[in-house]
Amino acid sequence: MFARDIFRLIFLSLMVPLLAFVLSAPATAQSKPKPSAKVLRQGQKIFKENCQVCHQADAIGKPGVAPSLTNPEFLAISSDKFLERTIRDGRADTSMMPFAHLGRSKVRAVVAFLRSHEKLRYRAKEVDAQPDARGDARFGKTWYMNICSTCHGSDGNGYESEGAGTAIGLPGFLDKVSDGYIRETVKVGRSNTRMLPFKGPTALAALTDREIDDIIVYLRQAAKK
């Protein structure tokens, strides 16, 4: 009996600190410190100097020129990595030039400024963790041409084809986003823009999950040709 009690004490003395570490680690990893007022001011200044000419004041966007970067639905599903890569690398074959010359800290300051406009729950991690689309590109082409091409162009070139929507068919976009990101954008849309939802009771066109995946597969295959 005595030996069993000794073993239990030793076991607890080892496990309690380990358990405390395990429980505290996720909280530390998940708690992202808010940027300082100085960083936000810097981000706003850099945005005005480099981005406002196309994206307008407070990044509300301009139809046919540049999308809104402070749209609630956009910020909710856009990861910092996605935003930073887009600013750094730009979008080839569009008017969105690369801003790698700003350097990492300034790019992150711009992202922090954009994030300060968040209104919806941040869901980028769970959205990007969604499974890859499994659909039929042949059907996807039909849905795309009949529904999406009006705004995004028959080749997915968006504004470059005088469309009202962004260039969702170009590698510069598709290489940076997950299938979950595209899926959620199609389903939910973007409030106060021409990008209406395509799923649910208020949808412009009631697309099924399979039909949305068909479109995603089509876009990815077409971009490789």
5's CB contacts (< 8 A; 6+ apart) are: none
- Tell me the C-alpha distance between 92 and 213, whole Å: 25
pLDDT at 8: 53
What burial letters (b/e) apply to 173-210, b meaning 16+ CB within 10 Å? Answer: bbebbbbbbbbbbbebbbeebebebbbeeeeeeebeee
pTM of the full predicted structure? Answer: 0.84
Tokens for 147, please give them.
Answer: 């529904």
pLDDT at 13: 52
**Which of 88, 120, 152 finishes a domain?**
120
Q: What are phi and psi of 194, to 5 degrees?
A: -80, -5
pLDDT at 32: 62
Residues 79, 139: one domain? no
Residues 163, 217: one domain? yes
pLDDT at 187: 97
Residues 54, 80: one domain? yes
**Which of 120, 146, 176 finishes a domain?**
120
20-34, 111-125, 158-172, 195-209: least confident range: 20-34
**Which of 73, 105, 120 finishes a domain?**
120
Segment 99-125, tens digit of pLDDT: 999 999 999 999 999 999 999 999 999
Domain that holds residue 71: 37-120
